[in-house]
Amino acid sequence: MKKQKAKLLVLKDVDLIDGNMDNIQKNMVIIIRNGIIEKIRKYGELEIPKGGQIITLSGKTVIPGLIDSHVHLCQSGVDDFMKPFAERLITKFKRNCLITIRSGVTTVRNMPGVRGYRIFKYRKKVAQGKIVGPRILASGPAITTPYSYFSILSFLPFSPFVRFFIERLFGVRGLSIDVNNEKEAKEIVRRLKKEGVDFIKTITPGSPYYPFAKEEKMKLELLQKGLKKEQIEASMQPEILKAITEEAYQLNLKVACHNIYRPEEFYEAVVAGANSIEHSPIGLMSEKTFDLMKEKGIFWVPTIYAFYNWKNIIDNPELFETAEIKELIPEPLHSHGKKSLQQLRNDIKNGGIWGKFYKEMEPLQQKYFPENLKLAIEKGVKIAAGVDCGAGGAGYVPHGQLYKELEVYINNGMSEFSAIQTATKNAAELLGIIDKVGTIEEGKVGNIVVLESNPLKKISNLNNVNLVIKRGDIVYSKDVEL
């Protein structure tokens, strides 16, 4: 696919949702010059400049380029970090980028994956236009606690010297970095800054078994099944997280904190000053957590759709066999995903550890989300949408599914307009790029999605994309091969 260059692009007779106003402005003209939105006027109120590409879009709706605040572009949602060489990473990355762009997403905050340093090279190729994809803000490896499920130590308990080579051999280098104390925390943040990260990702609750481990009987069972005590109890000390956020603040980096199990840990991350908390806790959030988030301007990125989808696919494995899924997750990854799905289903049946985790914890995530969301909205906590597309371990969520996250918000009481803002204006604020993107305004970057119909009427209309414009270039067109 070649990019079509247009120094001057005019979108004529569009219905505009600009991301600021909770309404639709009919029959508008948008002029984009050299990638920047120059003018927005009512159709007929200005002379259309000559010499550019003029597209008449009567009846279509335009919205700001969408922003996904939580994706893994180097993974495809089928535990493929366990199979790092099943497909060339660049092949996978390019496909996931294209799927993302076609879904109207022009900016992403990319989370860790295997070979986590590669993303800096890929980010550059996208910025140079050599790969068609969204603008990427990248974290590189996650900072986590030793023996957490994201820690290399969980997989490779060798001496640091041996690990160095094994990490490279198995391609897991760059997934995560373990931190042991506050001094190390600050050093790691500085090192990551030098590597070129746009933000820091931390994983504080290290163990999915932790909530079980409080019961002695369960803990014993886990130990008998071969898990180490450190693995079961892994959790980052709040002082270490505080050291990370403080150092990051000094270096002008934001901190995203993965927090998925206990509401108390979620609260600790808020106190420590993370800029966003990723995922949804299994438990009711306290008023004081949301009050403090509102006060400090901390965002919540629930990634709730991944959990809904996970359950749905496990209960109905035929959903993983559709032509659409096979296109989004092609071979050999699809077969790998099918196998791990079957394993999990067996594990659930036989009462294995992971099966037990799924059965007891999974319903809780969905049980508490509606109430937590209601309270967050009531308290005025800003929410940014992320889908965890590509994440391994849970979800089976392929790329390009952002609208489905918004659907869950709306089904739980959020307005359509606010839902769109979670994937535009709010997300741009969280990413620290609201001066450039997130809304359609004169002077901002020309990132625009043209939809066949109005998403305020039905949010799934977001999935019917006609054109995607990034920096004034048409990067996807439904009707024309570019």
Q: What residues make contact with Zn ion under the rule CB under 5 A?
A: 111, 388, 391
Q: Which is nearer to Zn ion, 81 or 357 (CB)?
A: 81
Q: What is the nearest approach in angstroms of Zn ion to the Cβ of residue 72?
A: 6
Q: What is the nearest approach in angstroms of Zn ion to the Cβ of residue 305?
A: 12
Asked whether the beta carbons of 9 and 446 are under 8 A apart, the reply is yes
Cα distances (Å, whole numbers) of residue 76 to 9, 107, 329, 390, 448: 34, 18, 7, 4, 26
Start-to-end Cα distance in the chain: 6
Strands 448-451 and 61-64, by their bridges, are: antiparallel
Q: What is the nearest approach in angstroms of Zn ion to the Cβ of residue 81?
A: 11
CA distance 466 to 192: 39
**Residues with Cβ < 8 Å from 368, sequence gap 6 or more?**
280, 281, 282, 283, 284, 285
Q: Which is nearer to Zn ion, 203 or 465 (CB)?
A: 203
Q: What is the nearest approach in angstroms of Zn ion to the Cβ of residue 400?
A: 16
Closest CA to 218 of 347, 350, 353: 353
Q: Which is nearer to Zn ion, 244 or 391 (CB)?
A: 391
- Residues 393-416, buried b or exposed e (16+ Cβ, 10 A)? bbbbbbbbbbbbbbbbbbebebeb
Q: What is the nearest approach in angstroms of Zn ion to the Cβ of residue 391?
A: 4
Q: What is the nearest approach in angstroms of Zn ion to the Cβ of residue 397?
A: 10
Q: Which is nearer to Zn ion, 283 or 392 (CB)?
A: 392
Q: What is the nearest approach in angstroms of Zn ion to the Cβ of residue 111?
A: 5
Q: What is the nearest approach in angstroms of Zn ion to the Cβ of residue 77?
A: 10
Asked whether the beta carbons of 408 and 308 are under 8 A apart, the reply is yes
Q: Which is nearer to Zn ion, 67 or 111 (CB)?
A: 111
Q: At 145, list the tokens.
A: 């606690």
Q: Which is nearer to Zn ion, 32 or 111 (CB)?
A: 111
Q: What is the nearest approach in angstroms of Zn ion to the Cβ of residue 263?
A: 19
Q: Which is nearer to Zn ion, 276 or 447 (CB)?
A: 276
Q: Which is nearer to Zn ion, 308 or 476 (CB)?
A: 308
Asked whether the beta carbons of 66 and 423 are under 8 A apart, the reply is yes
Asked whether the beta carbons of 215 and 244 are under 8 A apart, the reply is no
Q: At 347, list the tokens.
A: 């594990």
Nearest 5 degrees, angle CA 143-CA 126-CA 170? 45
Q: What is the nearest approach in angstroms of Zn ion to the Cβ of residue 386?
A: 8
Q: Which is nearer to Zn ion, 32 or 175 (CB)?
A: 175
Closest CA to 362 of 260, 278, 438: 260
Asked whether the beta carbons of 228 and 207 are under 8 A apart, the reply is no
Q: What is the nearest approach in angstroms of Zn ion to the Cβ of residue 355?
A: 22
**Residues with Cβ < 8 Å from 71, sequence gap 6 or more?**
100, 108, 109, 110, 111, 386, 387, 388, 389, 390, 399
CA distance 248 to 408: 32
Q: What is the nearest approach in angstroms of Zn ion to the Cβ of residue 440?
A: 29
Asked whether the beta carbons of 71 and 20 are under 8 A apart, the reply is no
Q: Which is nearer to Zn ion, 60 or 118 (CB)?
A: 118
Return the H-helix or E-strand segment holding 158: none
Q: Which is nearer to Zn ion, 384 or 391 (CB)?
A: 391
- Burial level of 312, CB count in 10 A (0-12/13-18/19+)? middle
Q: Which is nearer to Zn ion, 357 or 476 (CB)?
A: 357
CA distance 256 to 254: 7
